[in-house]
Structure 1
């Protein structure tokens, strides 16, 4: 392995993490990593003073261009759009998915909110708030002044609103609440289901036009509890929940008749479930399902 390849592999996790956070798709992220690799090989013989900065800059600029195209196509996406969920492998071994988690936790809910931003604003927000680059570094990557980058991040936060800042809780609290939620929804206990939800809870679902899902965000504890209660009646005795790590945070996989039906992410506030993301699109579950089956 030559020095150029070793350098690229050293920073590959960071490049892939940026690409996934920007694009919301592991397949698109892997394509972008390959594009960065090809460009790196073309310039590898030239003197690059700071390889990491070069690679992050290349990845970010390619991701901005790719996201512009994706956002145009997502305007015609059937129903609500949610990112592809990333499954943690639950072991000490480092998989590409683990690399993504190490590079900063961005929940599925926050990634969905990031769709509100322009590609440049999304890049500025992620590089600053998730990857913790300073404004001078941002300026070099985005081709703007540090003051301009600061303003871009500020506007991104304003566009995301309070929703992006709510929902933090310790992992142990997440796991306790999710275990209670799984028990209540499997049993069809309407009262406990509703009690676990915040009064202003919201639920988004993504079926990709391939399977049924909610066409608009569902809001309010009672309406969401009714949905889970109805599912419990529909799938009585056929439903199984599995606790997992999704996008670096505790989540649940729902199985019906032993088949993966959805991957569900949760955010919490004050001991209640605040937001739920239900990914049902088979195309976005395929990689996760393969990873789950590989566990045996």
Structure 2
């Protein structure tokens, strides 16, 4: 029975941590603990398992907090490829793909750990406040207040009450990314400048492990020139493919068969507003088999 909750637990852990590998570890540790203790005494197994995995995530975040403070350059979440997501969550009915986007995950990082757990359980996994109270060990009234505070803090419209997270239609995002790739591959500078918003930002996460821009690059002209320079210096065997990453179209690049970088995008009004380029090899190891 425990295994049936794996998609749910991974959905929660990945959004809490922004790490595929750490989320998998948290879920595995939860299974081991639950199997050891048994669930026959548990009234609500789903809430019980979510509580365990949430605590595992908080422990991981605490141990990683000092590393985050000295992290070299921008920190970005580990990319989650489409088939990886489907493997963990074959039924995506309750796992809104909008909440997988890099931009969304970065917003979640602004929240305190308990706020993040309450917000995710309510907004993404559709728990009621009584269930959330069981998971985080607070009253339902307190959880309601925490949720409202968290929602205000990250300025994400609720998926209830007729509102929705402001994300472009997936097909529109794919079309813009495809245009971007075609323009970059052909060296069409004018085409790139037409796709990238004038005040766009490019974030590169190398984690101090590889060469990467330590500071965000701001402005379409600077971004396009930077990307054109990278393209000219691409190593032998470099190739990429368009694929679903974090619920949206993105770019996964390889040198021969080893993952090299992954780029995702935030699209606004048919143009690229932000680019998120993950180069840290530690964050790409799980992609080696793709």
The worse-fitting range, judged by mean Cα deviation, of 241-250 and 160-169 is 160-169
Once residues 133 and 279 of structure 2 are traced to their aligned partners in structure 1, the CA distance between those partners, rounded to angstroms, is 38
TM-score (norm 2): 0.87
Aligned to 1:267: 266
Aligned to 1:148: 142
Note the 1:83-162 alignment, pairs <5 A. Answer: 83-89=77-83, 94-96=86-88, 103-105=95-97, 106-161=100-155
Q: Is the 8 A contact 2:193 2:221 kept in 1?
A: yes
TM-score (norm 1): 0.85
Aligned to 2:224: 225
* Change beyond 3 A, Cα 1:101–1:191: farther
Note the 1:1-296 alignment, pairs <5 A. Answer: 7-44=1-38, 46-89=40-83, 94-96=86-88, 103-105=95-97, 106-161=100-155, 168-235=167-234, 240-255=239-254, 260-290=259-289, 292=290
Once residues 62 and 243 of structure 1 are traced to their aligned partners in structure 2, the CA distance between those partners, rounded to angstroms, is 34
Instruction: Show CA shifts across 1:20-78 (max 9, x none).
Output: 11112222112211221222123316421221121112111221232122223211112
* Change beyond 3 A, Cα 1:135–1:103: same
Point out where structure 2 has 5 or more consecutive residues left out of the alignment. Answer: 159-163
Aligned to 1:4: none
Once residues 140 and 162 of structure 1 are traced to their aligned partners in structure 2, the CA distance between those partners, rounded to angstroms, is 25
* Change beyond 3 A, Cα 1:89–1:62: closer
Once residues 190 and 239 of structure 1 are traced to their aligned partners in structure 2, the CA distance between those partners, rounded to angstroms, is 21
CA positional deviation for 1:252:
1.0
Point out where structure 1 has 5 or more consecutive residues left out of the alignment. Answer: 1-6
Once residues 19 and 156 of structure 2 are traced to their aligned partners in structure 1, the CA distance between those partners, rounded to angstroms, is 25
Instruction: Show CA shifts across 1:117-166 (max 9, x none).
Output: 21111112211221121222222211222232222222223332479987
Once residues 210 and 248 of structure 1 are traced to their aligned partners in structure 2, the CA distance between those partners, rounded to angstroms, is 27
* Change beyond 3 A, Cα 1:234–1:126: same
Instruction: Show CA shifts across 1:78-128 (max 9, x none).
Output: 2211111111239xx952376789733211222123222211111122112
CA positional deviation for 1:247:
1.4
Alpha-carbon RMSD: 2.8
CA positional deviation for 1:259:
5.4
SS of the aligned residue for 2:122 comes to helix
Once residues 248 and 101 of structure 1 are traced to their aligned partners in structure 2, the CA distance between those partners, rounded to angstroms, is 13
